[in-house]
Amino acid sequence: MVDKRTVNWAKAALSKGYSKEQIKNALSQRGFNPADINDLISQISQPSSPLEAPRPTHHYGVWWTGLIVILIAASIATLVFTGNLSLDFGKKETTQINPAQKIAAFSKPGVVLIQTLVSGTFNLAVPLSDPDTGIFMIDPNTNRLIKSEETFSKDFEEGFAGSGFIVSPDGYIITNAHVVDLNSQDYINQFTSNFVQDYLTIVDEKVQKTYGDSIYNYPDIIDAVNDYIYKETYFTNLKINVYVGTGVTIPGVATIQKGNVADIRKLGTSGSAKDVAILKIDGKNLPTLKIGDSGEVKTGDRIYILGYPGASETSLTATGEAIEPTLTSGIISAERKTTDGFRLLQTDAAMSGGNSGGPVFNEKGEVIGIATSGSVDPFTGQPVAGFNFLVPINFAKGFMQELNIQNKQGSVDEHYQEGLEYLWNKKYSKAIDELETVRRLYPAHPYVQSYLTGAQEALERWILNTKP
């Protein structure tokens, strides 16, 4: 049996505009019996019976009612005229959400983790060495290692991660060329470095057995070996597979999201101002980012970067924990030109490995650049903080025109942004309606369920705390 207080509460909630379904859900959450809930809904659905005879009507009441209506109308008109009251009862700007928070919330669904899996065979023409000691033999005329007839080969499979962003609801994605380029110097250097270390370890074991000393104690020999190996290395059977993970994902080769296989539709030049690639994944109603005009960008403009930087994975973060795109910010520090005359944007915003290919936003939330590269000290070879470079988005627009890609946001983005605006303004019922529409249009949306749950819980708290 439902007590009178609960019945009064339900009547009050109904009078405030909440549906019977919302009231039933709230009561169910509180543990009420379904039969009692149905009985309560039946009670509050019946029209009220008059409990007393109507009182006589007086002209004074009509006069006072009219005066009150006039005064209220005048007050509202004054507030609207002075800007203290908005008649826009839908979306309205909120003071508790700053621009950076809004950009992050609206844009994160369209940012993707790109994981590239490269396989093949590493080949090295082995340098000639003394068969007894393992010491490399050097040509006295050139002071370089001598090539033998032997070849050292090893199969490999390596994974690399970067960022990207969706530019059309049907699954076109922009990233850096070097994130997915099979012949990228980054990949070649990484493969070579790995196998150079493997090979030197084999040699060092033999030298230590013979001389009781490590080859690493002789920098000149190491430099000569490195120089030789980098020049005599070649790869065969190279294959590349690109996978895309949307939203919240687990990093690492072992957890690559192989359901989202990407095709490379356009590939620029790695390590240059043309470092852009266009990918395509299957899909519809995908969250999409809006592209701006990098030609309007000026030095001093504030910018925001979203991506999956490797630097965010430290010993303090849980291993294997699902990660979301990381937001960093800064300004456009300078406009630079490359040796071939192309424009680059320099920024002090933090970037690290994994950020490559991620979107860079202006304060309106439009993509105006692609996070591309950092700077290296020419003397030490160490990364230099605060000197990072972006490819202007207008260069990528040229690729999009060639492929006839239309940058437009779909209904999923519209309903998602409306839903968040309602949620931030505590219009929970309207927020739920919008977010439910998002979930219906795109069930795989990575963030909608979290916001939807928050809106439902907030609405329930409001209803349960409302006193009749």
pLDDT (tens, 9 = 90+) of the chain, 468 residues, equals 667 767 777 777 777 667 788 777 777 766 677 888 788 778 777 654 333 333 334 444 444 455 444 544 445 444 433 333 333 333 444 547 899 999 999 999 999 999 888 888 888 888 887 777 767 777 878 778 888 888 888 888 888 889 999 999 999 999 999 999 877 656 666 667 767 777 778 778 877 877 778 878 877 777 777 788 778 888 888 888 999 987 555 444 334 444 589 999 999 988 788 999 999 999 899 999 999 999 999 999 999 999 998 645 543 344 445 578 999 999 999 988 776 778 899 999 988 888 999 999 999 999 999 999 765 444 444 555 667 899 999 999 999 999 999 999 999 999 999 999 999 999 998 999 999 999 999 998 989 999 999 999 988 888 777 654
pLDDT for residue 34? 83
Q: What are phi and psi of 425, to 5 degrees?
A: -95, 10
Which residues are within 8 A (CB) of 346 and not within 5 positions of it... i.e. 6 or more apart? 332, 333, 334, 335, 336, 387, 388, 389, 390
Structure tokens given for 143: 């002071």
- What phi-psi label fits residue 37: left (phi over 0), alpha (psi between -120 and 50 degrees) or beta? alpha
Structure tokens given for 133: 């000691």
CATH 2.40.10.10 fits 294-402, yes or no: yes
Q: What are phi and psi of 340, to 5 degrees?
A: -95, 15
Q: How far apart are CA 377 and CA 385, in angstroms?
A: 10
Q: How far apart are CA 278 and CA 409, in angstroms?
A: 18
Specify which residues 384 forms β-bridges with. 375
- What phi-psi label fits residue 174: left (phi over 0), alpha (psi between -120 and 50 degrees) or beta? beta
Q: Distance of alpha carbon 298 from its chain centroid, rounded?
A: 25
CA distances from 16 to 10, 178, 463 (A): 10, 57, 10
Q: How far apart are CA 142 and CA 125, in angstroms?
A: 18
Q: Structural domain boundaries of the chain?
A: 4-45, 107-280, 294-402, 410-465
